[in-house]
Amino acid sequence: MDTPLERKIFASFNGNGGKATLPGLCRSLLEVQKESWDMLANGYAALCSVLVRQLEYDGFSVILQFNPARIISSTAPVDKESLRKRPCFLCIENLPAAQCAILYRQEFLILCNPYPIFPEHFTVSCIRHTPQSIEGVIQVFLSIARDFSPDFNLFYNGPKCGASAPDHLHFQAAPRGLLPIEKEIEKSEKLIFAKRAEGISFFRVKNVGREVLIVEGTHYDTVSAALIHIITAMKNILSTSDDPMNLMCSYRRDTWQVVIFPRQKHRPDAFYLPEDERILISPGLVDMAGVIITPLEKNFNTIDHDIIHKIYDEVSVNAEITQKILATVLP
């Protein structure tokens, strides 16, 4: 008899040199699911009508996206009691009947996100119900990013940094080139070279309204070790056991680039204001990378430069903490 997992599998990817690439399989899955799964079809239809507007700053820009469907993610309760009471929506037995997946290296399911932010938006969910933590899976994270290359970025949200399912390990994948931070870090004048050690280059990014670190390298083991050092330093300096950051990883020209947004706060104070004053923004990687998701139209219409600056100031660490992180990992 088929198992619940086997009934969900659209295709498998084991990285064994087959003709099918991971981006190709994902695109095939997306097209099939748009035809067979109404929730997904409705999500992408809604995406076609989202409103966007751009705010230009001195040195960087952000894109506001009015996306009402994302209110479920933006307002998801993430306290332990709420998580305990609700069924985990990433566990195999709780997936919608029509949802299918790509089985990735026997460890993860690649799923079409039914509430997309991008024209191609996937969730990469661990088969096991295990807490959202990058510790122990850094190398897996790098491997998935390499398999998604060169078309996609891979995202990770810390459990208190935008993850709507902090009780279930998952990543997200979306096409490269859609986030403002990608264009900004391509400008050499934005990068402050920190150090190069054991084939790894470390940079800070300046004048983008929040603290950003970049790690680049060509060797799997050394990039992994560098990330572990930085994450450990952030946890120690910020006195937290949770992963206090958002990560974005790409693999191009035989090089990993990991963009790190160190965080000191989950949600800005404005998120908790009375309803008539509330700004419903719960920043994850996408928001930190410059696409601000606003599920409420009134927020979309009224958010300005000062509000974005305040949100980034609140949730990001300050320059002094960034320097401490770098001093710890780059003595």
Instruction: Please tell me the predicted confidence (pLDDT) of residue 1.
Output: 45
Say yes or no to pLDDT of 119 above 70: yes
Name residue, tokens 């929040």.
Answer: 210
Determine the angle formed by the axes of helices 38-47 and 22-36, rounding to 10 degrees.
100
pTM, 2 dp: 0.95
Cis peptide bond N-terminal to 150, omega within 30? yes
Joined tokens for residue 127: 């088969």
Instruction: Work out the mean pLDDT of the chain and round it to a whole number.
Output: 94
**Beta bridge partner(s), residue 196:** 201
Q: How far is CA 110 from the centre of its chain?
A: 14
| DSSP three-state, residue 117 | coil
- Residues 198-251 have pLDDT tens digits of 889 999 999 999 999 999 999 999 999 999 999 999 999 999 999 999 999 999
Say yes or no to pLDDT of 79 above 90: no
Mean pLDDT of 19-28: 93
Burial 266-298 (b: 16+ CB within 10 A, else e): bbbebbeeeeeeebbbbbbbbbbbbbbbbbbee
Say how many Å lie between the first and final Cα of the chain, rounded.
58
Which domains are seen in the chain, by residue range? 4-329 (3.30.428.70)
Q: How far is CA 34 from the centre of its chain?
A: 23
Alpha carbon distance 215, 262 (integer Å): 13
Name residue, tokens 């919608």.
Answer: 96
Percentage, residues of the chain above pLDDT 70? 99
* φ and ψ at residue 161, rounded to 5 degrees: -135, 40
Alpha carbon distance 218, 230 (integer Å): 17
